[in-house]
Amino acid sequence: MTGRHVLALSGGVGGAKLAAGLAAILSPGELTIVVNNGDDFEHLGLTICPDIDSVTYALADLNDTERGWGVKDETWQAMVMLRDLGEADWFNLGDRDMAMHIARSWRLRAGETLSQVTSRLTRSLGIAHAIVPMSDAPLRTQVGTADGWLDFQRYFVAEQCRPVATGVRFAGAPGTPPSPAFMAALAREDLGAIVVCPSNPYLSVDPILAVDGVREALAARRVPLVAVSPLVGGTSLKGPLAKLLGELGKPVGNASIAGHYGALLDHLAIDIADAADAASLQRSGLNVIVTPTVMRNTRDREQLAQTVLAAAGLNGGWIRV
């Protein structure tokens, strides 16, 4: 017997949109959102979890949709003052966003786990669905460059993805256990589908797969795994995926996404702009859904969430919010 519970794996902004779409049509008991925290880092004494924050802000309807990241109606007074005080300014910290980092950091220092802090803070913001870090232990995504291995935020923000990537690695893996709620979701009797949100496979999803036992658990799954491709019109909508694919010697296209996930993948949702990719992907044995994947608003997010769940065989009865 398979059930209706959905396990979603998400990175930051793109993934967060689909996660919010899923949260809009599934009840809190029907969804566990596991978020990449390989991007987490310590900065000015604060523990910053960019992907957890992106998912949190999206579900709390606090995300800035114009800027594409961070909190809406954000101000930058603390950042200006930090600069005046001679502190590092390569990572932008908004005033409202800063409150999240302060709250998280002091509670982590007080002994709470990242899972506990995340649960506490998301609930405080009125989020009923479970947002779960992939692990409570640090696993750190690093990008290989001519200058050596760079921590993710150094590569992504400080260097703005300019260095040519020679590889991606996850410091701490193996040896990083899944968070309790991630482990519990993987083992649920009523699991009905696993959804890989449209996040960068190398930088945002692979860290989740690098957590101890996750790849094995997904390989042994008894429920469909549906991924949404982060490529649109043959390139990345945002972020360094297209550049990274090229540097890693892979064609920039959905065949590379499908090839990367390999046997873990049952269904791949690709954008209507890439409909031409469908035939060859299907010949390789994959179920392909051609559907609009660009999520500009709430309706787009919910529509894509419905399509993805339908592909997984979880049809109908979704509560529209």
Catalog residues that contact a second copy under the rule CB under 8 A: 44-46, 71, 74-75, 77-82, 84-87, 94-100, 102-103, 105-106, 109-110, 120-121, 124-125
Q: Checking DSSP bridges between strand 5-10 and strand 191-196, what pairing results, if any?
A: parallel
The minimum distance between CB 117 and a second copy, in angstroms, equals: 10
Q: Is the CB of 86 or the CB of 317 nearer to a second copy?
A: 86
Contacts of 90 (CB under 8 A, 6+ apart): 157, 158
- What's the CA gap between 309 and 304, in Å, rounded? 9
- What's the CA gap between 276 and 289, in Å, rounded? 12
- What's the CA gap between 56 and 100, in Å, rounded? 10
Q: Is the CB of 74 or the CB of 302 nearer to a second copy?
A: 74
The residues pairing with 35 across neighbouring beta strands, listed in sequence order, are: 10, 133
Q: Is the CB of 87 or the CB of 190 nearer to a second copy?
A: 87
Cβ–Cβ under 8 Å, residues 135 and 176: yes
Q: What are phi and psi of 192, to 5 degrees?
A: -115, -25
Q: Is the CB of 115 or the CB of 291 nearer to a second copy?
A: 115
The minimum distance between CB 47 and a second copy, in angstroms, equals: 10
The minimum distance between CB 102 and a second copy, in angstroms, equals: 5
Q: Is the CB of 82 or the CB of 157 nearer to a second copy?
A: 82
The minimum distance between CB 112 and a second copy, in angstroms, equals: 12
End-to-end CA distance of the chain: 28
The minimum distance between CB 80 and a second copy, in angstroms, equals: 7
> Residue 114: exposed, middle, or buried by beta-carbon count in 10 A (0-12, 13-18, 19+)?
buried
Specify the 3-state DSSP secondary structure of 316. Answer: coil
Contacts of 175 (CB under 8 A, 6+ apart): 137, 212
Q: Is the CB of 102 or the CB of 242 nearer to a second copy?
A: 102
The minimum distance between CB 119 and a second copy, in angstroms, equals: 12
Q: Is the CB of 96 or the CB of 154 nearer to a second copy?
A: 96
60: left (phi over 0), alpha (psi -120 to 50) or beta: alpha
The minimum distance between CB 104 and a second copy, in angstroms, equals: 9
